[in-house]
Structure 1
Amino acid sequence: MTAALGIPPAGPVRAWGRVPRELSARVPAEQRGPGLDRDAVRLLVSRGTQVSHHAFAELPRLLRAGDLLVVNTSSTLAAAVDGWAGHTRVVVHFSTLGDDGRWAVELRDPDGQGTTRARAGGPLGTVVRLPGGVRLVLEEPLSTRGERLWWARVDGAEVCELLGAYGRPIRYRYTERDQPLSVYQTVFALPDPPAGGPGSAEMPSAARPFTHRMVAELVSRGVQFAPITLHTGVASAEAHEPPYPERFAVPEASARLINAVRAGDGRVVAVGTTAVRAVESAAGPDGVVRAAEGWTDLVVTPERGVRVVDGLLTGLHEPEASHLLMLEAVAGAAAIDRGYQEALRHRYLWHEFGDVHLLLPDEGTSL
């Protein structure tokens, strides 16, 4: 795969407006006070336009026996590495491993507050010097839509070894400080995930609040889990671009389990937009999920709709984010607008260390 496929532009800015800077979660939940764990975040629940407010620890009683959570097993890479382009210091974000051994990368200007200032890559043939005598050469833009991401050849070391020795997790300006890689791993992450790639450039963060205790309680209540894998590339806090093609895998056992739940009374609830993208990529027009792996360029929009997913657990997204189109496909625009108005009014926290939003079908029952 040498270039991104055609993807529709992001949707319009939503009527509920911008998110105040102070609502960005600056540190993980467990670092906000003594005795706290990852699950010490709030949970906004939307069923249609009916909204209620909960602690994330209440999730087991909001689901029911027979429900199925689809979870992403991709582990997070220490994907940011310092380097030099000529006499200029840069930070390289390693995004996606291509089939030909090249990597999609992003160059950024460091500013001491997270590697937040994107810079145009190029020109063609630009050489970036990395630690350990490694060289990275930019070969072609990933997309005709811009030059933020480039396919690059790495000489002098295996990238996974480079990241293990010199990398750190990608972080953005709204966070307070660098964190160890363990902070960016979910309880579902496998050290050697399938789908033909080494892991995700950025954490599949909807699953971050889950703890081992929470998983055990859900299982004891009859909630099932279906693992899938989707390796995320880098996002862009500035551009709000639609997702690029990403590697995914839906194993046969998970496909069978999803189909069985859909044939019964359970609900299929995706944990994160990555899980939606993977499962919907493996579903045929008949709604049947079949084992699949490879690349997906699927962008879930209200026009396309969802074939499999009944509900979604996700973080809170910026008003320009293309992910909101997926949320509208699951729950409808009115539900998303109402939920986000409530999230702002009750001062929920945004981004990967923030609070989460559970979208469930409107079944005419009280929460």
Structure 2
Amino acid sequence: MNTSLMKFHIPEALHAADPPEKRLSARDQVKLLVLDRQTGKFKHDQFVHIRSYLEKGDLLIFNNSRTIPAVLRANHNGKSVEVRLSRRLSDSEWDVLLPESRLNIGENLKFSNGVSAIITGYGSEPPLVKIDFSARGTDLLHLFYETGDPIRYEYIHHPWPLEAYQTVFATAPGSVEMPSAGRAFSWKLIKDLKKEGIGIAFLSLHAGLSYYGNDKWPSPKKHPETYSVPKSTAEKINEAKRNGKRVIAVGTTVVRALETAAGANGLVEAEEGTTSLYVTKNYPLRAADGLITGFHEPEASHLDMLTSFVQEEFLLSAYQNAISKNYLWHEFGDMNIILPLKGK
């Protein structure tokens, strides 16, 4: 849960319930709040105009993790049980949330297609538990895609297909919730940015559950996520750093992976693993110079990360103004870019 002093109220009407393609003409037509890291000044625009705030040689880092259908139904002693995936541990093991049930270690769950699972222990933190499926690898992934649904929180009133929870560049299945900061980018916008000399690179961080229900959020220090920074991406980041260019993370997941892989000198190593890095206002950012993100609830630990980019009072002022201007929150909502504007 967010440990900052930021307190604000999001009116019910500002919880985005529909994908922007249903409200607007395209995913890149959402609003954009532009916030200067150094001065706290902000302005309003449309996301499709984001090029106006980028410079030739800037490098955008995207998370190419693909959202999987993470809500499953199982049978336990004749009763239907919801199983909500959180994090892959091995080819057959997952941390999961059982939001409707309290089951004991050693109990069994039965899924479709003859697949079963056993509860083998506690997860990374309460209330997660660890289960071991009888299927593994691609067979297990097929079960998820054949029988599962995407996670849908209460502010989304209608079920949307899995594709609504994908970025256009998502290629690596593994996130149980969409790394949503990249959702506003269309292929046309990405191509236009590349033509203007804006660099593009990708990494993967598979996002876990952001909410456990009943006003319980993951502890940011006990919320491991799997990441991979390819060699080609590390090389692009290090070249941009050597040339004095800005590295801009598209999403808090990207910040977490970048800062995990960065050395004290800001250079990034190609690596993969699991990170529990918790970035707060006292964290000295080493790799990320700017951030593109959505809007976050006051309880979300994401806000602690944002205060590592910009002073808390600047962020709160910008958020309050966004509320007054009817910006929309969550994965289908509007966008925020935080970076040094260099006189713009």
Question: Is the structural similarity TM-score above 0.5?
Answer: yes
Match of 1:305 among 237, 259, 284: 284
Taking the aligned partners of 1:106 and 1:241, their CA distance within structure 2 comes to 11
| Pairing 1:269-308 to 2, within 5 Å after superposition | 269-308=248-287
**Unaligned stretches of 5+ residues in structure 2:** none
**Does the CA-based 8 Å contact 2:249-2:291 persist in structure 1?**
yes
Mapped pair 1:44 → 2:33? yes
**1:107, CA displacement in angstroms?**
1.5
1:201–1:88 CA distance, 2 compared to 1 (3 A): same
Describe the superposition over 1:281-332 as per-residue Cα deviations: whole angstroms up to 9, x where unpaired: 1001222111111111111112223111110000100001101111001222
Q: What amino acid maps onto 1:211 in structure 2?
A: S
**Unaligned stretches of 5+ residues in structure 1:** 1-8, 110-118
Match of 1:209 among 153, 171, 184: 184
The corresponding residue for 1:5 is: none
Q: What amino acid maps onto 2:151 in structure 1?
A: I
Query: Secondary structure at 1:339's aligned position in 2?
Result: helix
**Does the CA-based 8 Å contact 1:12-1:320 persist in structure 2?**
no
Q: What amino acid maps onto 2:201 in structure 1?
A: A
Taking the aligned partners of 1:276 and 1:26, their CA distance within structure 2 comes to 26
**1:12, CA displacement in angstroms?**
3.8
**1:87, CA displacement in angstroms?**
4.3
Mapped pair 1:131 → 2:116? no
Question: TM-score, normalised to structure 1's length?
Answer: 0.87
Describe the superposition over 1:127-168 as per-residue Cα deviations: whole angstroms up to 9, x where unpaired: 22222232222221113x52x211101125632011121111
Mapped pair 1:239 → 2:198? no
Taking the aligned partners of 1:123 and 1:12, their CA distance within structure 2 comes to 36
After superposing the two structures, state which structure 1 stretch, 151-160 or 164-173, moved more.
Answer: 151-160
The corresponding residue for 1:30 is: 21
Query: Secondary structure at 1:257's aligned position in 2?
Result: helix
Taking the aligned partners of 2:302 and 2:336, their CA distance within structure 1 comes to 13
1:217–1:362 CA distance, 2 compared to 1 (3 A): closer
Q: What amino acid maps onto 1:279 in structure 2?
A: L
Match of 2:330 among 345, 351, 358: 351
**Does the CA-based 8 Å contact 1:10-1:240 persist in structure 2?**
no
Shift >6 Å, 4+ stretches: none
The corresponding residue for 2:318 is: 339
| Pairing 1:66-145 to 2, within 5 Å after superposition | 66-99=57-90, 101-109=92-100, 121-143=102-124, 145=125
Mapped pair 1:256 → 2:238? no
Taking the aligned partners of 1:256 and 1:359, their CA distance within structure 2 comes to 24
The corresponding residue for 1:112 is: none
The corresponding residue for 1:168 is: 149
**1:362, CA displacement in angstroms?**
5.2
The corresponding residue for 1:114 is: none
Identity %: 38
Taking the aligned partners of 1:179 and 1:69, their CA distance within structure 2 comes to 28
Match of 2:45 among 39, 54, 58: 54
Describe the superposition over 1:103-145 as per-residue Cα deviations: whole angstroms up to 9, x where unpaired: 1111124xxxxxxxxx5x43222322222232222221113x5
Describe the superposition over 1:47-91 as per-residue Cα deviations: whole angstroms up to 9, x where unpaired: 031010011111112211111100011111011112233344322
After superposing the two structures, state which structure 1 stretch, 95-104 or 275-284, moved more.
Answer: 95-104
**Does the CA-based 8 Å contact 1:313-1:357 persist in structure 2?**
yes
Taking the aligned partners of 2:2 and 2:122, their CA distance within structure 1 comes to 20
